[in-house]
Amino acid sequence: MTGSMASHYVEELARAEAGLVGADSGWFKAARRRALTHFGRIGFPTPKDEEWKYTNVAPIESRSFRLAGHPRNGLDVAELDGLRLIEAHELVFVNGYYSAQLSRLASLPAAVSVAPLSEALPQKSLQEHMERQAEQPGNGFAALNAALLSDGVHIRVGSGVTLQTTLHLLFISTAPDGPTASFPRVFIEAGASSRVLIMEHYASLTPEEYFTDALTEINAGPGATVEHYKWQMEGARGYHIGRMLVHQQRESHVTSYSVSLGAALARHDIAVSLAGEGARASLYGLFMAEGRQHVDHHTSIDHQQPHTTSAEYYKGVLAGHARGVFDGKVVVREDAQKADAELTNKNLLLSEHAEMDTKPELQIYADDVKCSHGATVGQLDEDALFYLRSRGIEYPQARALLTYAFADDVVARIAIEPMRHAIERHLTARLPRAALVKELL
């Protein structure tokens, strides 16, 4: 299958390359081909790979997704109602391609640059970075993203600058030509002592099958503060593979919120390198799955320097025949004395058919550290259910209230108010007796 898939994507690149970002750049075309050659050697990951033991990507491998082209007919702005954020700089991508018509980018401070990759590619530093990545892209999905990159955005916030308004990156899939694939990429560079808040939002306007293979990279300079939100609300027949690579310098703080509610199959990888003394990372996650949805989170935090801190808190809610996977790893290097790491994963099963595989892991090579980890998989608390029933609340409604409270523990931390309210609406809509639950909240 690997050979046939490699041939398929070679043909797709030849067919669609003229419309992809960097089509007129010799170095970029060469980098694409190196990455595609790498994909031909390694193919897609399989359950035989330890990192993919519980997630079978055969549904993606077995489909010959076509590279999405530029939308022939532009979306109507009205179609974005409910997806937009109030008072946000907003970049909209349709099937992986930047849409200037749908985007709203107000005036930015002089030291802030937000540009689609087509405009940012000439930058020498970005070119060198992307060439290195094409040489060693990682697994098959990373190689495909490097080879078939459709478009994306480069964000740079200058030293000492605070960007007051949220940056909203909205990725919409429409699958106009049958099963299609898009390969977006986001680069974020936060200068020393800068502050920025960014939301990545993946949504669908189609009932068709499609595939999103996304990569986000964050480089936080000394003392920088970055809040990054990812809201995955792909369609019921969508497949979403996403990776985020974070590199932190001294005294920087990166906070990541990952909310995964959509897609037939979703995989989210986060790798954080605490490369500077005093760097701090906070990772929060919530996933909800029902029917036969499959959602997988893999996180890795690497403490490389002294006095680094990490806190990770993920929650999952599974119903029907859904399956969840959480694999969280914290590594504390020998030089990372005085490191402080906390890793927690809690999961709620609402059905006897739902499954959850969880594996929190600590690898500690330093002596003077403070580290803890834990994971739970269980059902709703019977004592709490009994109490609510004794207060006159019916059983389905009591279950819904407890489920909402379990999930809202993460949602309530979201600082972007429109996003928080929208997720709360989605949560209540997926609960039984939703109307009654709303009355009690």
Instruction: Quick: pLDDT tens for 154-176.
Output: 999 999 999 989 999 999 999 77
pLDDT, one tens digit per residue, over 243-283 is: 999 999 999 999 999 999 999 999 999 999 999 999 999 99
Distance CA 356, CA 3 (A): 33
Distance CA 230, CA 168 (A): 10
Phi/psi region, residue 313 (left: phi>0; alpha: psi -120 to 50; beta: rest), is: beta
pLDDT, one tens digit per residue, over 59-86 is: 999 999 999 877 766 677 777 877 887 7
Q: Amino acid identity of 342?
A: E
The token duo for 325 is 């996977």
Report which of 204, 116, 201, 216 is spatially closest to residue 166, judged by C-alpha positions.
201
- Asked whether residue 431 carries a pLDDT value surpassing 90, the answer given is no
DSSP summary character for residue 76:
P
Distance CA 416, CA 168 (A): 10
Between residues 432 and 419, the one the model is more confident about = 419
pLDDT, one tens digit per residue, over 286-298 is: 999 999 999 999 9
Distance CA 55, CA 296 (A): 7
Kindly list the domain boundaries of the chain, sorted by start residue: 2-276, 382-441
Taking the whole predicted model, whether its pTM rises above 0.85 is answered as yes
Q: Which residues make beta-bridge pairs with 253?
A: 225, 280
- Asked whether residue 352 carries a pLDDT value surpassing 80, the answer given is yes
Average pLDDT of the residues in 142-150: 93
Q: From residue 357, how far is each of 50, 263, 346, 406 by CA, in Å?
A: 13, 19, 11, 19
Q: Which residues does 24 contact at the CB level (< 8 Å), separation at least 6?
A: none
Lowest mean per-residue pLDDT among 67-71, 194-198, 326-330: 67-71
